[in-house]
Amino acid sequence: MADAGAARTVIIVAPSFAPASNPPTQRVRFFARHLPTFGWTPIVLTVEPRYYEERLDPEIDALLPPGLEIVRTGAWRAGLTRPVGIGDLGLRAYPQLRAALRALCPVRRPDVVLFVGPPWYPFLLGPGVRRAYGIPYVLDYIDPWVNAMGADGRWWTKAFWARQLALRLEPLAVRQAAHVVAVSAGTAATVRARCPELTADRCTEVPYGLEPDDFVALRARPRPNPFWRSDDGAFHLAYVGAMLPRGYDTLRALFAAVAALRRANPDIGARLRLHFIGTTYDPRPPRQLVWPVADAMGLADIVTEHAARVPYLDALNAMCSADALLALGSSERHYTASKIYPSVLTGRPLLAIYHAESSVCDVVRRTGAGVLVTYDDAHPAGDQLDRIGAALAHVLERRMAEAPRSGSAARAVAALTDFTAESMTARLAAVLDASVTRPPAASGRQPRDRSSARV
């Protein structure tokens, strides 16, 4: 642990933060809580909640570390910008975030600025911070800036042009970054493939971590589960989280295995219920994403979907109320699911279906939290129906035969000591330490006087 008297300061630029409850909020919340342990004082630079489009979650505020300094800016309202095709919060708040950094840097003199994305456009403020004040900056990738969306060559779509813009802008942000961290090594590798000047020693994998104290907060605020009745004699499986755009092959494979199980074992099939909760980030989703697939596959009578995102502690409560949990992966090799950690900590039996190269596989194996079925590019999820069906039957039989194991969560924490939120923050702190001391990436410009420079 670093000497508290020698604490350094990091400004964390996270346009979306509490009281939103999306993955970037949780990641920054974990970092902000544990960074002081490693000698870093965080200041979170974010946007006023009234400019968010997602549903607000006031309970998240109670989970923030006491005394955390939060600086909030304005933004252009989405109602004004969406008619011209701009909804991204990072774009809507870009001028305001830039002005806030211009005001903060000469006064607070941070040692490092950390940009968390998505949204990614604020990454482009990093070179200006470095040029104006000589302050190194680090980029944190939760998801790839350049992904498969828009890669189909349909030039008349918004996704195509967003991708083209990302391909051109990303190198401008990455080139002068002191370091790049990412939730998975695969995500970092894709950035390096697009930006060859980013060397391996400037990349670090910092996955999501597990935070057992969130369950302490849940127990302190008990609540009913509105999604199903626990006394109806049914067996309730829950998937809590967004439906992945490239996860439909996995979903269809699961549904095919469920349909086969119902035919082979009508007694178990009659009790089976599958619930999909919070499948979209849209607070007012125009359509369901999962139920139409279930309907087409003859499972409409046992599948329910609550598409709108639910508050964080309500989501944890639903997971704890389920008889078993579903964790479904994507065709993306290196997809890393933040929800795998709370899934493990519930102590509920888990059926996990993931690409063999996903880091989730290691978490499930190390904890023994459930049954894992893997697939790969050569043998996709649709080829694993027999294995998925056997795994599903095993989870059902085990849960029907015994109550959830009270000590399983504690065993999971013990097995994943290296994957706690504190341990992940230790990795980040080491990156920040190195970013202060290492020579900056070449830019061809010298920093101006820090007291009067402009970002």
Over residues 329-349, the pLDDT tens digits come to: 988 776 666 788 888 888 888
Structural domains for the chain: 4-209+420-437 (3.40.50.2000), 213-415 (3.40.50.2000)
What does the alpha-carbon distance between residue 143 and residue 152 come to, in Å, rounded to a whole number? 19
Quick check: 165 pLDDT over 80?
yes
Containing 236, the helix (H) or strand (E) segment is strand 235-240
User: Which position has the token pair 């499986």?
Assistant: 237
The DSSP code sequence of 141-167 is ESS-SS-STTTT--TTSHHHHHHHHHH
Q: Mean pLDDT across the stretch 172-191?
A: 93
Residue 81 φ/ψ, nearest 5 degrees? -95, -30
Q: Which amino acid, one-letter code, is at 111?
A: D
**pLDDT at residue 54, rounded to an integer:** 86
In sequence order, the 6+-apart residues with CB closer than 8 A to the CB of 416 are 210, 341, 344, 363, 366, 367
**pLDDT at residue 1, rounded to an integer:** 43
Quick check: 449 pLDDT over 50?
no
Average pLDDT of the chain to the nearest whole number = 89
Burial of 323 from C-beta contacts in 10 A (0-12 / 13-18 / 19+)? buried
Q: How many CA atoms lie within 13 A of 142 on its CB side?
A: 21
Quick check: 205 pLDDT over 90?
yes
Task: Please state the pTM of the whole predicted model.
Answer: 0.87
Quick check: 2 pLDDT over 70?
no
- With cut-offs at 50, 70 and 90, classify the pLDDT of residue 316: very high
Q: Could you say which DSSP state residue 339 is in?
A: T
The structure tokens listed for 289 are 């994403």
Residue 64 CB neighbours (<10 A):
18
Over residues 415-427, the pLDDT tens digits come to: 677 788 999 999 9
User: Which position has the token pair 């849209």?
Assistant: 282
Q: Please report, rounded to a whole number, the percentage of residues in the chain having pLDDT higher than 70.
A: 89
**pLDDT at residue 85, rounded to an integer:** 87
CA 418 to chain CA centroid, nearest Å: 18
**pLDDT at residue 444, rounded to an integer:** 44
The residue among 37, 112, 25, 111 whose CA lies nearest residue 425 is 37
Please indicate whether residue 444 or residue 258 has the higher confidence score (pLDDT): 258
Q: Mean pLDDT across the stretch 397-422?
A: 67
What does the alpha-carbon distance between residue 306 and residue 278 come to, in Å, rounded to a whole number? 6
Whether 179 contacts 198, CB under 8 Å? no
* SS3 of residue 193 by DSSP: helix
- With cut-offs at 50, 70 and 90, classify the pLDDT of residue 455: low
